[in-house]
């Protein structure tokens, strides 16, 4: 019974060690990485020139929504030329960090 517990605990430790490092974003790093984002998403009432639509403010948004949207832009699933270019340049960790920053900002 004792050996079984050791194997279970060892398996759990290995599983935790193998998880990706980006499971949570760093809002401090995210603030640094989001400087470009704030040029549009940080301007209250900002509208895109063409096609004309309101640019959403991201402060307070759920982090997984932001990560999902960035992945969709990067893959072409969501279409917006500027956002696609921006998202394609981001790593998974960048996306998590940016999402953590916006989730904490208002």
Kindly report the CATH number assigned to the domain that includes residue 61: 1.10.760.10
pLDDT band at 18 (very low <50, low <70, confident <90, very high): very low
Q: Which of 10-14, 90-94, 99-103 has the lowest mean pLDDT?
A: 10-14
Residue 39: give the domain boundaries. Answer: 25-104
Domain assignment present for residue 57? The answer is yes
Domain assignment present for residue 14? The answer is no
**Higher-scoring residue by pLDDT: 99, 5:** 99
Domain assignment present for residue 9? The answer is no
Domain assignment present for residue 11? The answer is no
Domain assignment present for residue 8? The answer is no
How many domains is the chain partitioned into structurally? Answer: 1
- Nearest alpha-carbon partner for 23 in 58, 54, 60, 63: 63
Region 10-25: mean pLDDT is 56
pLDDT tens digits along 39-74? 999 888 888 887 788 899 999 999 999 999 999 999
Domain assignment present for residue 16? The answer is no
């Amino acid at each position: 019974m004792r050996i079984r517990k050791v194997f279970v605990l060892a398996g759990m430790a290995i599983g935790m060690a193998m998880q990706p490092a980006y499971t949570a974003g760093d809002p401090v790093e995210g603030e640094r990485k989001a400087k470009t984002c704030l040029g549009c998403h940080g301007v209250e009432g900002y509208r895109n020139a063409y096609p004309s639509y309101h640019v959403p403010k991201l402060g307070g948004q759920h982090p997984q929504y932001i990560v999902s949207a960035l992945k969709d832009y990067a893959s072409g699933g969501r279409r917006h030329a500027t956002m696609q270019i921006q998202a394609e340049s981001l790593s998974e960790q960048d996306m998590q960090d940016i999402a953590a920053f916006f989730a904490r900002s208002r």
